[in-house]
Amino acid sequence: MEFTLDVFTLNCWGIPGVSKNRKERFEAIAAYLQKSSHNIVCLQEVWSEKDYLYLKNSLKGNLPHSHYFYSGVLGSGLCIFSKWLMKDIFFHQWPLNGYIHKIHHGDWFGGKGIGLARIQIGERLINVYCTHLHAEYHQDDIYLAHRVLQAHSTAEFINLTTAPADISVLAGDLNAAPGDLSFKIVTQLPPLTDPYDKDLDLKDPAKLKSLGTSDSADNSYADHRQVKICPEGKRIDHILYKPGPAWEVVVNNFGNPLPNRVPGQEFSYSDHNAVSVQLHVKPLNKTPDVSSNNDDFDETCIQAIRVCEEAMTNLSKFKTYCLTVGGLILIILIGLVGYWPNGMFYDIIKICVTGLCFYCLILGTIWHKIEMNSLKAGLSALNNYCKTKIHQRNALINK
* Domain residue ranges in the chain: 3-283, 295-398
pLDDT, residue 103, reads: 61
- The DSSP output letter for 272 is B
Q: Is 124 helix (H, G, I), strand (E, B) or coil?
A: strand
272 is catalytic: yes
pTM score: 0.90
The pLDDT, as a whole number, for residue 78 is 97
What value does the mean pLDDT take over residues 41-70?
A: 97
Q: Which residues pair with 240 in a beta bridge?
A: 170
Q: For the chain, give the longest Cα–Cα distance.
A: 86
Q: Average pLDDT in the 162-187 region?
A: 95
Helix or strand or coil: residue 30? helix
DSSP, res 73: T
Q: What is the pLDDT of residue 399?
A: 64
Is pLDDT above 80 for 201? no
HSE-CB at 51 with a 13 A cutoff on CA atoms is 26
pLDDT at 6 over 80: yes
pLDDT of 85 above 80 = yes
Q: Give dist(CA 255, CA 212) in Å, integer.
A: 10
CATH number of this structure's domain 3-283, picked from the four choices 3.30.450.40, 3.40.50.300, 3.40.309.10, 3.60.10.10: 3.60.10.10
Residue 140: Cβ within 10 Å count: 8
Q: What is the mean pLDDT of residues 294-302?
A: 87
Question: Among 34, 27, 6, which residue's Cα sits nearest to residue 270?
Answer: 27
Identify the band that residue 96 occupies on the pLDDT scale cut at 50, 70 and 90: confident
- Average pLDDT over the chain, rounded to whole? 89
pLDDT in tens, 103-141: 666 666 767 899 999 999 999 999 999 999 988 866 667
In whole angstroms, how far apart are CA 148 and each of 23, 82, 124, 191, 309?
33, 29, 32, 16, 12
Of 19-28, 130-139, 151-160, which range is least confident? 130-139
CA 63 to centroid of chain Cα atoms: 23
Q: What confidence score (pLDDT) does residue 149 get?
A: 95
What is the reported pLDDT for 117?
Answer: 98
Rounded mean pLDDT of 216-232?
A: 92
Distances (CA, A) of 211 to 77, 121, 219, 234, 310: 24, 30, 12, 8, 33
- DSSP one-letter code for 167: E
Separation CA 9–CA 1 (nearest Å): 26
Question: What mean pLDDT comes out for the span 30-40?
Answer: 97
Task: Name the pLDDT band for 70 (thresholds 50, 70, 90).
Answer: very high
Mean pLDDT of 368-380: 93
Residue 285's pLDDT band, with cuts at 50, 70 and 90, is: confident
How much of the chain exceeds pLDDT 90, in percent? 71
Q: What share of the chain is helix, strand, coil (3-state, %, to 5)?
A: 40, 20, 35
pLDDT given at position 139: 60
For position 372, what pLDDT does the model report? Answer: 93
- For residue 367, the model assigns a pLDDT of 87
Q: What is the mean pLDDT of residues 300-325?
A: 94
Out of 38, 92, 272, 368, the active site residue is: 272
Q: Tell me whether residue 353 is exposed, middle or buried, using C-beta atoms within 10 angstroms of its C-beta: 0 to 12, 13 to 18, 19 or more.
A: middle
